[in-house]
């Protein structure tokens, strides 16, 4: 039985002057966890926030935090992110020359570990670390910014990663997450390809029915696509 469908909002579109309220609103809207996009201005051409801001967010929601580390040196601050209240750290395969060791380090800190792969990176990059992770994140945009167009040509790769996970008998222990351009429109194809957890930013915050309606619609469309 594959893992449940989950919605992980990216907080990039949020008004950062009202971050605490945004978190309580996202919890009330029925989200399953919070996806924190950490950018260092080096690995990606954008800069967001770090552990101190995450620590200030922590008291405002009971939802788990996953840190999407779009940074060149994830090892250097991994402990800071865990100490700030992140339950999962997602490392980019492209930024970790010793990915296996970095994932071991994340787990030694008491967090779970995930690996993200950019659009150009083949699924094979994650083949040898599946035993160390509870999430594989297939990027469906080039990382660095919210509000970009979903890259549908990633669907065969999503299917390849899903097949890899299932062939190893790991479908109950590993989430297959997609991130970038996910909306009520694109979520069905990503689900059919094999994803079970969905990061959404702009599609949640621009929905005319508000956050709760946006989360429900994406979840409903993913559920329907899985059942089809």
147 touches ligand DX5 (CB under 6 A): yes
**What are the φ and ψ backbone dihedral angles of 62, each rounded to 5 degrees?**
-90, -10
Active site residue 179: yes
Shortest reach from residue 65's CB to ligand DX5, in Å: 13
Sort strands 65-70 and 34-39 into parallel, antiparallel or unpaired.
parallel
| 55 or 145: CB nearest ligand DX5 | 145
Residue from 33, 68, 92, 162 in contact with ligand DX5 (CB under 6 A): 68
Q: Which of 25, 32, 37, 40 is catalytic?
A: 37
Contacts of 60 (CB under 8 A, 6+ apart): 19, 20, 21, 23, 24
Output the CA–CA distances (angstroms, integers) from residue 36 to 22, 46, 64, 65, 202, in the order listed: 13, 14, 10, 7, 14
Residues 171-210 that bind ligand DX5 (CB under 6 A): 179-182, 199-203
Residues 148-187 that bind Zn ion (CB under 5 A): 179
Report the length, in residues, of the chain: 228
Residues 5-24 that bind ligand DX5 (CB under 6 A): 10, 12
How many residues of this chain bind ligand DX5 (CB under 6 A)? Answer: 21
**Beta-bridge partners for 34:** 65
| 121 or 148: CB nearest ligand DX5 | 148
Residues 33-52 that bind ligand DX5 (CB under 6 A): 35, 37
2 touches ligand DX5 (CB under 6 A): no
**Beta-bridge partners for 137:** 116, 177
Shortest reach from residue 73's CB to ligand DX5, in Å: 18
Tokens of 106: 């994340």
Shortest reach from residue 39's CB to ligand DX5, in Å: 7
Q: Which of 32, 40, 175, 179 is catalytic?
A: 179
Q: Is 92:72 a contact under the CB 8 Å cutoff? A: no
d(CA 198, CA 222): 9
Catalytic residues: 37, 179
Binding site for Zn ion (CB under 5 A): 37, 68, 179
């Amino acid at each position: 039985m594959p893992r449940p469908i989950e919605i992980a909002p990216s907080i990039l579109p949020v008004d950062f002057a009202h971050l605490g309220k945004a978190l309580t609103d996202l919890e009330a809207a029925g989200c399953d966890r919070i996806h924190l996009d950490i950018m260092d201005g080096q690995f990606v051409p954008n800069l967001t926030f770090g552990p101190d801001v995450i620590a200030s967010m922590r008291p405002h929601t009971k939802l788990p935090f996953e840190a999407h580390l779009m940074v060149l040196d994830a090892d250097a601050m991994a402990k800071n992110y865990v100490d700030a209240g992140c339950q999962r750290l997602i490392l980019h395969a492209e930024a970790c020359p010793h990915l296996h060791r970095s994932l071991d380090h994340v787990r030694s800190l008491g967090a779970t570990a995930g690996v993200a792969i950019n659009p150009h990176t083949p699924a094979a990059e994650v083949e040898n670390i599946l035993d160390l992770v509870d999430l594989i994140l297939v990027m469906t945009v080039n990382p660095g910014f919210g509000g970009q167009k979903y890259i549908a040509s990633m669907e065969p790769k999503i299917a390849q990663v899903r097949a890899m996970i299932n062939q190893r008998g790991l479908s109950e222990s590993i989430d297959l997450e997609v991130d970038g351009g996910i909306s009520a429109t694109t979520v069905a194809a990503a689900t059919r390809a094999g994803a079970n957890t969905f990061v959404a930013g702009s599609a949640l915050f621009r929905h005319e029915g508000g956050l709760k309606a946006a989360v429900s619609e994406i979840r409903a469309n993913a559920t329907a696509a899985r059942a089809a």
